[in-house]
């Protein structure tokens, strides 16, 4: 596993407030939340970002979105939520491990940035 903070969370070297886990993914609360509910959904297999994902990653990428939906239901975000995937420095990505941000718990404005 990589030396990113997410790799260390997957390996159990760094604690996280996990809200969901299965064989392919892990979802945990962001330590620097941008909304009342801010969860990160990550694949356990390292993919640096969405641009690095290949066609053979389609099932895993779909799985991450379904996990985000499941976590949103679990956290009772019935009024809505936002999913965000940042890619690269200009896209705001700060950890080189693909992750989906699940944001909710308040109205979210548009445009976001």
Beta bridge partners of 104: 37, 81
- Contact predicate 41/71, CB 8 Å: yes
Q: Compute the distance between CA of residue 2 and CA of residue 101 in angstroms, rounded to an integer.
A: 20
Which positions are catalytic? 99
> Which H or E run includes 71?
helix 58-74
Report the relative pairing of strands 37-43 and 100-104 from DSSP bridges: antiparallel
Q: Is 29 left (phi over 0), alpha (psi -120 to 50) or beta?
A: beta
């Amino acid at each position: 596993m990589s030396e990113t903070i997410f790799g260390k969370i997957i390996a159990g070297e760094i604690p996280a407030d996990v809200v969901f886990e299965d064989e392919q993914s892990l979802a945990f609360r962001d330590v620097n939340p941008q909304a009342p509910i801010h969860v990160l959904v990550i694949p356990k297999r390292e993919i640096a970002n969405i641009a690095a994902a290949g066609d053979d990653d389609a099932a895993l990428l779909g799985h991450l979105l379904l996990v985000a939906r499941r976590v949103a239901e679990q956290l009772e975000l019935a009024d809505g939520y936002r999913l965000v995937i940042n890619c690269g420095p200009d896209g705001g990505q700060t950890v080189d491990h693909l992750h989906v941000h699940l944001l909710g718990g308040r109205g979210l404005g548009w445009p976001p940035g």
